[in-house]
């Protein structure tokens, strides 16, 4: 989420470009591809929200597409991607956030299919309403699936990334709830660059033949 249509569009385009670079770097390491592609999802998310700003919110296809990415897709994508990239000794414990993500994603998908999600422009933010059943439990499952997967990954870079996500997301939520300004797009941009650096670091050094 960003503070205007223009900001969302610019941020989304830049984040998607970072995602393309990450996928290119990870091409020789298929297990890293799902995480490397995460900025592509985040970039598309921002671009979709740019359309929401221009349409004044509402309940149209752009609102549904935004909610599908933000809710059921990311809840399942992140723990599955971390499981793919994690070292072998961490994969068993990562089944916990994956199970939480699967259950949370199923609940969110069912809710989206049976209820109407609405978007409302509130100053420099966009508010979304879905009417989740037991929202506290759903949010806990979402956080366990996403941030929990990163913290349990067993990869130092991903653990540090998880800490940053937890702190940064908290700050973004506080600012958003006060309807002051939405800073998620800037945070997503920083996270995308960090993921790109993580992918680049995972590449083995290029060895040249002698002579």
Q: Kindly give the confidence (pLDDT) of every residue in the chain, 211 residues in length, as a single tens digit, with 9 standing for 90 and above.
A: 666 888 889 989 999 999 999 999 998 889 999 999 999 999 999 999 999 888 888 898 999 999 999 999 999 999 999 999 999 999 999 999 999 999 999 999 999 999 999 998 887 778 888 888 888 899 899 999 999 999 999 999 999 899 988 887 777 666 545 444 455 666 777 888 999 999 998 865 444 555 4
18 assigned to some structural domain: yes
> Looking at residue 180, what is its pLDDT?
41
15 assigned to some structural domain: yes
Helix (H, G, I), strand (E, B) or coil at 119: strand
Write the Ramachandran bin of 67: left for phi over 0, alpha for psi from -120 to 50, otherwise beta.
Answer: alpha
51 assigned to some structural domain: yes
82 assigned to some structural domain: yes
Distance, in Å, from the CA atom of 190 to the CA atom of 174, rounded to the nearest integer, reads 18
42 assigned to some structural domain: yes
127 touches 119 (CB < 8 A) = yes
168 assigned to some structural domain: yes
Distance, in Å, from the CA atom of 120 to the CA atom of 128, rounded to the nearest integer, reads 6
Nearest to 43 by CA among 74, 16, 73, 62: 16
170 assigned to some structural domain: yes
Domain CATH for 28: 1.20.1070
Write the Ramachandran bin of 123: left for phi over 0, alpha for psi from -120 to 50, otherwise beta.
Answer: left
146: which 2 tokens?
A: 């996403």
Enclosing domain of residue 21:
5-202
pTM metric for this prediction: 0.88
Q: Please tell me the total count of domains within the chain.
A: 1
86 assigned to some structural domain: yes
> Looking at residue 1, what is its pLDDT?
62
Contacts 24+ apart (CB under 8 A), 153-157: 153/82, 153/85, 153/86, 153/90, 153/94, 154/86, 154/87, 154/89, 154/90, 155/85, 155/86, 155/87, 155/90, 157/198, 157/201
Angle between helices 38-55 and 74-85 (to 10 degrees): 160
């Amino acid at each position: 989420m960003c503070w205007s249509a223009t900001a969302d569009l610019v941020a989304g385009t830049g984040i998607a470009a970072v995602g393309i670079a990450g996928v290119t770097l990870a091409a020789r390491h298929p297990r890293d591809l799902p995480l490397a592609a995460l900025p592509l999802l985040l970039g598309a998310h921002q671009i979709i929200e740019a359309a929401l700003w221009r349409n004044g919110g509402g309940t149209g296809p752009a609102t549904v597409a935004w909610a599908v990415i933000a809710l059921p897709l990311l809840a399942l994508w992140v723990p599955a991607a971390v499981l793919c990239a994690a070292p072998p000794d961490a994969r068993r414990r990562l089944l916990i956030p994956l199970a939480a993500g699967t259950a949370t994603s199923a609940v969110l998908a069912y809710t989206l299919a049976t209820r109407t999600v609405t978007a409302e422009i509130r100053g420099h933010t966009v508010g979304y309403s879905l009417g989740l059943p037991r929202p506290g439990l759903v949010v806990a499952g979402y956080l366990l699936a996403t941030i929990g997967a990163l913290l349990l990954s067993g990869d130092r870079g991903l653990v540090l990334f998880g800490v940053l996500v937890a702190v940064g997301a908290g700050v973004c939520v506080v600012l958003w709830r006060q309807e002051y300004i939405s800073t998620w797009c800037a945070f997503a941009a920083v996270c995308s660059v960090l993921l790109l650096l993580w992918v680049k670091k995972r590449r083995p050094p290029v060895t040249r033949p002698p002579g």
